[in-house]
Structure formats: C-alpha cells, structure tokens
Amino acid sequence: MPVIGLSIKSVEASVREKTFSGTINVNSAPVITGVKKKGINMPDLKEAVAIDFRFETSYEPEDKSEKVGEIIISGTILFGDENSDAIVQKWKKEKKLDDNMLIDAFNAIFRTCLTEAVHMAYTLRLPPPVSFPTVIQNKKSGRIHMMIKMFEKAGNHTNECLNIVEKMLDAHKDIVVASTTGVTGLKAAERFGKKANVVIVTHAYGYPGENKIEIDKRTVKKIEELGGRVFTGTILTSSLEKSFSEKYGSAYLGTIIADTLRRFGEGTKVCAEIVMEAADAGLVEEGRDIIAVAGTGRNADTVCIIKAATSRRFHDLKIREIVTKPRDF
C-alpha cells in the first residue's frame, strides 16, 4: 500500500506577542482526522484511500501555562490500496488504521510537515521543531567541525564513524572500540594509535565456541604495534546470567539492562558495555569522557561520548552524547 501523494491544504501559525523567558518545550505530533475513498486517474488504479491529517507543533513553557506559539498544518495523504472499502469501514467503526499503514502515513507526514514547520518557525522567530547538526570550534586547535549524523540503516558505516571520531580528537584522547574479529579495531589503531589512547575490546574466549575466540593473535599484534591496546574480557550484561537464562528460561538483571539499552540500538548498548570493561581493566580512567565506537553485528555504526565508570559503579556511567547511530535497526 504505497503512499502515492501528499498535499497540504492549510498552514496556520501564531506566536504570542508577550515576551517570555525560561525553558520552552517544543512538541510535534500528527493526528489522523478522517479516512475516505477518493477517485483517481492512474493507469492501474482508479481508487485511493485519502487520509486527512493535522500536524501540530506547539511551544509551551515548563509550567504548562499559555502556549508561546503553535504551527498547525492540515492536509491529505493518498494511499494506493485495493482494499480501500475495508480500510474505510474499519476507520468508521474503530477509528483505527492498520499499523503498517499508520507508520507509513506518519513517516510521510513528518517528512513533509517538519520541513514546512521549520520554515514557519524561522519566520516567527520560534525555535525549530527539530534538532540540527551543530558546528563547533575547538578552542585549542581552532578546528571547526560538524557533529551529529544519523545513518538510515544499521550496518557497515565504519569509515564514516572513524571520520567522525577524528574530528573529536581535539577534545577527547580516549577511544574505546568494539571489535569482534579485529578488523574495525585495526582500522582504528591505524588512524588513531599514535594520537590517542586506543582500546580495542573483543569478545571473550568461549563466546563463539569452547576454547575459541574470533580475533587472531596476528591481528592483536598488529594493533599493538600501531599503538592500540587489546582487551579480551567478559560481556558485562551476559556471561553467567546468559548461562542461567538459557538453562532456566528466566530474565536476569543484566539481560534487562542490555535490552533496555538496545532500544537505542545494538551499538549504543555495546558502547556502554565496552567503556565499563575498559574501566574495569584500568585502561581508561573513571570519570573521564570517552569516545566509544561500536556497531550492530560486525563493523561500526554508532559513536557515543560516555563518562567512564567501572561496572561496580554502573550508576555513575553517563551516556553524554549519541554522536551517530542508525535510525533503523
């Protein structure tokens, strides 16, 4: 059921004339207001599902008093679907759309309406409804670089991640990298081994099978020759708890922590783990902000800035920034 069109019918925007100060909360949300059939003139399709929507961006102070401003965009999105009668009837009875259709509709609405809302916010001198990449200058070196990037899908974005890391070296001198076979770790050591404290964290022995490890000794030696250090240790949210979970079928605390962190992506979860592992091993200092690089499976797709803590002091660990991650994982 592809989206075959989206049209904006009206745009209303207002800002309160009274001056205001303090924190302003900016919230954007779409609402489906109606669903009906619509005749169209396409070679293979004569009817479409027309979904009316309202997209509102509101600006409210923390005390939830009078709105500072608002932007309301109304429009219609068209879906090409042979089951238009069933879709319309379901809406009339339940005021619901199937999940897949709703997701596609919301994604299309956000893409179009946020662009329009950004323009209107600029005209009204309101904060933009989305965060933009930030250009910063390092005070020591004078270098200027842009932070924050979102990959569309999880996967092999290693080179792009390392390019981002390189721009951050003026401010951070500790880099912890997850590397299963050593390929990503070797790339990091080649680029940063002489410039920073580079720690490569691998899986433990036994992870792929009894008495086995994925990284070979030659790769470890190359990394060390390039100035990196290799740490092989237990995954903090796995090991003993994984063994008990598989045997008895229960969820333990480590598993719950891991699955919670995975809501931000596998790479974010691994970034938190490897910083704690490196701190446990004394390879990075507790309390320092560390660049962490990890990914979804093999390769890298996530870069975070994390305040280091040992596993004993897990609650002192802070994910300061998610610099880059995949949007879909």
Instruction: Write down the residue that tokens 């919670």 correspond to.
Output: 260
Residue type, 225: E
Token pair listed for 223: 């990394």
Percentages helix, strand, coil for the chain, rounded to the nearest 5? 35, 35, 35
Amino acid at 213: I
Per residue of the chain (329 residues), give pLDDT as tens: 578 889 999 999 998 876 666 667 788 899 999 999 888 777 676 788 999 999 999 988 766 677 889 999 999 999 887 788 899 999 999 998 888 888 889 999 999 999 999 999 989 888 888 766 666 565 555 555 555 677 878 888 999 899 889 888 877 899 999 999 999 999 999 999 999 999 999 988 877 778 888 889 999 999 999 999 999 988 877 665 666 566 656 556 777 888 888 888 999 999 999 999 999 999 999 999 999 999 998 889 999 999 999 989 999 999 988 888 987 87
- d(CA 192, CA 164) in angstroms, rounded, equals 12
Annotate 162-219 with three-state secondary structure: HHHHHHCCCCCCEEEEECCCCHHHHHHHHHHCCCCEEEEEECCCCCCCCCCCCCCHHH
How much is the pTM? 0.57
φ and ψ at 105, to 5 degrees? -65, -50
From CA 207, how far away is CA 196, in angstroms rounded? 29
* The listed CATH number (3.90.1660.10, 3.40.1380.20, 3.65.10.10, 3.40.50.11540) that belongs to domain 134-328: 3.40.1380.20
Q: What single-letter DSSP state applies at residue 299?
A: S
Q: Which pLDDT belongs to residue 281?
A: 94
Rg (CA), the chain: 25
How many CB atoms neighbour CB 131 within 10 A?
9
Single-letter amino acid, residue 256: I
Residue 206: predicted pLDDT: 74
Pick the CATH number of 3-124 from 2.170.150, 3.30.70, 1.10.10, 3.10.420: 3.10.420
- Rounded distance, CA 199 to CA 277, Å? 10
Alpha carbon separation from 50 to 18, 31, 47, 93, 99 (Å, rounded): 40, 14, 9, 17, 16
Instruction: Give the CA count within 13 Å in the CB-facing half-sphere of 171.
Output: 17
**Which pLDDT does position 204 carry in this prediction?**
83
pLDDT of residue 64: 67
Q: List the one residue out of 294, 324, 316, 289 whose CA is nearest residue 305.
A: 289
Amino acid 134: pLDDT: 60
Phi, psi dihedrals of residue 137, rounded to the nearest 5°: -125, 125
pLDDT at 241: 62
At residue 23, the pLDDT reads 65
Q: For residue 214, what pLDDT is reported?
A: 84
Task: Report the pLDDT value the prediction gives residue 162, as an integer from 0 to 100.
Answer: 93
Domain boundaries, the chain: 3-124, 134-328
Between CA 303 and CA 325 the distance in angstroms is: 7
Q: How many CA atoms lie within 13 A of 266 on its CB side?
A: 13
Any bridge partners for residue 136, and if so which? 145
Question: Quick check: 272 and 261 in contact, CB under 8 A?
Answer: yes
